[in-house]
Each structure stands twice: as C-alpha cells, then as structure tokens.
Amino acid sequence: MEGAELAGKILSTWLTLVLGFILLPSVFGVSLGISEIYMKILVKTLEWATIRIEKGTPKESTLKNSASVGIIQRDESPMEKGLSGLRGRDFELSDVFYFSKKGLEAIVEDEVTQRFSSEELVSWNLLTRTNVNFHYISLRLTMVWVLGVIVRYCVLLPLRVTLAFIGISLLVIGTTLVGQLPDSSLKNWLSELVHLTCCRICVRALSGTIHYHNKQHRPQKGGICVANHTSPIDVLILTTDGCYAMVGQVHGGLMGIIQRAMVKACPHVWFERSEMKDRHLVTKRLKEHIADKKKLPILIFPEGTCINNTSVMMFKKGSFEIGGTIHPVAIKYNPQFGDAFWNSSKYNMVSYLLRMMTSWAIVCDVWYMPPMTREDGEDAVQFANRVKSAIATQGGLTELPWDGGLKRAKVKDTFKEEQQKNYSKMIAGNGSLN
C-alpha cells in the first residue's frame, strides 16, 4: 500500500506541475519564461561543445568537412550555352562530352535525391553524427553528452509524452463535444479555441520555439494558405498561430479517430482514397469551400511530400487552378536543435515521433507573405512557380524544378523527352533553340 500511495503522490504532483506550468498557459497563449531559460542554456551548451570540438578536431578533417559540403562545382548554364564552345553548325561528336559530363555530375552528386535525406550540420549538436565522424575529444565533452542523454530520455521524453497524450485527448474530446452544438458563431469560436489550445500543447510537447514574422499577412478566411513542406508537424506549427481547414485523405486507426472528431467541429475537407483520384471532384469541393468567406482558410502543401528543409520542389498545379486568393507561407527549421524532416522511406511515424521527442527542441521561423492572385494570361503552372519562387526566396531555400514524387517514383519520360527535343531543335536550328 505504501508503494501505491507513493506512486499516486508522484503522479498527482507530476500532473499538477504539468497543469499549472504548461496546460493553463497554453489555454491563454502565454509563456512563463521556462522555455526561454531552457533555450538560453541549450544555446550556451551547444556553443561550448562546438568550440571544444573545433579545438580537438585536426585541421585536415575540418578542411575535408568543408570541402564535402559541395563535391562538384556545377555549371548551371543552359544546354545551348554549354554546347556553344564544343559544336559547329551541325551535329558534332564532341557533343557527347557535354552529356557525359552532366551524367557524371548527376551520379556523383544528385541535386534531387539528396533533398530526401537529412541535411548535414556544420558541427555536432550532441545529437547527430555529421560528415566528420565524432571521436573522443575530452572527458568533459563526453560527460556533457551522457548528461544530455539522461535529460532527454529520463526527463524530457516522459514530459513530452504526457503533454502529447493530453493534447491529443483534449482535441478528440473537445472537438467531439463542440461538434454537438448547432452551427453558430459560438460553435466556431469554441472550435477555434479547442484547436488552438490543443495545438499549443502539442507544440510544447516538442519544446517548440516558433518565431512568426509579418503577422499582418496572416491568411484570411475564404483564402488558400500554401506552404513548403518539411514535416507532419508543419500543421501544428501553423495552427498554433491561427486555425485552418485541413485537406487530406481519410486515414484509419488513431489518425482516423482524430479526423472524424475534428470534422465535427470544423469544416475540414477529407477525401476517401477513391475520391482523391478524381481531380474534378476534389476541385469542386475546394471551390465550394473557398466560395464561403466565413469558412477558415484552406491549408495545402503543394509539394505533396516532405523535403529536407533545404529546398522547395515543384508545386502541384491543382491548388492553383481553384481560384481565389493564395496566401504564401515560408517555414524554415533550425537543424541545430533537432531535425524536423520526416524521411518516410526510412522511419515510420512512431520512430519519427520518438526522434522528435528526444531532440533538444524544435526551433523554426514562419514568414507570412502578402497575398497573391493569378494574373491575366497566367496559367496555373506559371502561377504555382511564381508562388514557389517567392516562398523559396523568403525562407532562404533552394528552388528546384523537380517533382517531389521522385522520392518514390522514377523520372517521368516527359523530362527525358524535353531534353531530347531541345537538343534536336538546336541541331535543326544550327546551334540555336530559336
């Protein structure tokens, strides 16, 4: 009995601390300053570790590490310019050297597939092994690493699991209860309150520190919010500062329970797997949603897959055929404190969440950008590329024309045929694409 009483007291004390210092501040959207103190200590610790590693790492390894960031100095000039110095008026055998060079560059350092793996860090963050394999530097640094493991797995992980469980439970229960109310302004207000509170709790379960910029450009009702996609928690990051109508496929299991509860309180747009293949049906439902200016803005990630926080890949044109106002948002994570990228081909959801909850923290910047509309004479593809360029520029990301679907699929024949057509035009036009 004494053991049970002691366990009960510990549990009640734990829940009281969680309620008083985390849950209640989340409801009111305030911070007690605990996370700020934690981040200051963390920054100082990582800066100290970086200095110790630099002192203990040979200069040869440092040079090797800096050189490995970019293996190849690429020539990004177009085909016409690249072949101009090698060919005459008609076909020349020397043209083969240009295509061989491009092929070898792609084999040695492919600019596409490397976007589907975690980005390398310049220095070890006491979590991840970088290009320079971490060796024993000093006893002091090793003790700090051991202490970090104890803190992350024995203190932060139980706290974060508790918060995540409470946040998800409140979301399911709260949206289910709010969904029983008749449609009214009170129901909408309560729905937004439940979504905001629960998302803030879940973000604090990851020790999230988010910096929002240009809040005057936050997406408005009746619009479409488009953002680059790095992680499933992108939704939590954005919903912490405002509510959105989600768009996605109906799932089973725990995710299905959450979806069914959420749609009762808020007009999210969920599709069955068979409906997702019908573009016209999807477009129709989205147009009906944005036609009602009282409904929350739709949140869409046009890349269709997670990219590793370094680049923005091709935006699917479907989101830009609907019409309405587009509200671009750029999201950029700081990998020094934790890797938010989800490599779905390597980690399942449980493994990914475990890695997230045992990271130091999730730190990111969110930039709201001025609304954009489709210009006269501009098709959906051109509009999508213009929005993508704006997001890449604002977030300091590399803009790539490739489809994110290449993570799991082969290059489409149309890409190969396009290069062949350009080359044939050059031959037919005696060295000019025109």
The whole-number pLDDT of residue 59 equals 52
The whole-number pLDDT of residue 143 equals 87
pLDDT at 11 > cutoff 70: yes
Long-range contacts of 374-379 (CB under 8 A, 24+ apart): 374/320, 374/323
Which tokens go with 33?
């300053």
pLDDT digits (tens, 9 = 90+) for 318-370: 888 888 899 999 999 998 888 888 887 788 888 888 888 998 999 999 999 99
- In order, the DSSP letters of 150-205 are HIIIIIIHHHHHHHHHHHHHHHHHHHHHHTTSPSSHHHHHHHHHHHHHHHHHHHHT
pLDDT at 85 > cutoff 60: no
The whole-number pLDDT of residue 128 equals 62
Fold topology of 139-407: Glycerol-3-phosphate (1)-acyltransferase (3.40.1130)
| Helix/strand/coil percent split, the chain, to 5 | 55, 10, 35
Q: How confident is the model at residue 66 (pLDDT cuts 50, 70, 90)?
A: very low
- pTM: predicted TM-score of the whole model, two decimal places: 0.80
The whole-number pLDDT of residue 64 equals 44
Strand partners, 227: 329
The whole-number pLDDT of residue 22 equals 73
Q: How confident is the model at residue 63 (pLDDT cuts 50, 70, 90)?
A: very low
Q: Is 369 exposed, middle or buried (0-12, 13-18, 19+ CB in 10 A)?
A: buried
- In order, the DSSP letters of 94-153 are THHHHHHHHHHHHHHS-TTGGGGSPPPPSS--SS---SS------HHHHHHHHHHHHIII
Cβ neighbours around 58 below 10 Å, total: 10
pLDDT at 403 > cutoff 60: yes
Report residue 269 CA to chain centroid gap: 21
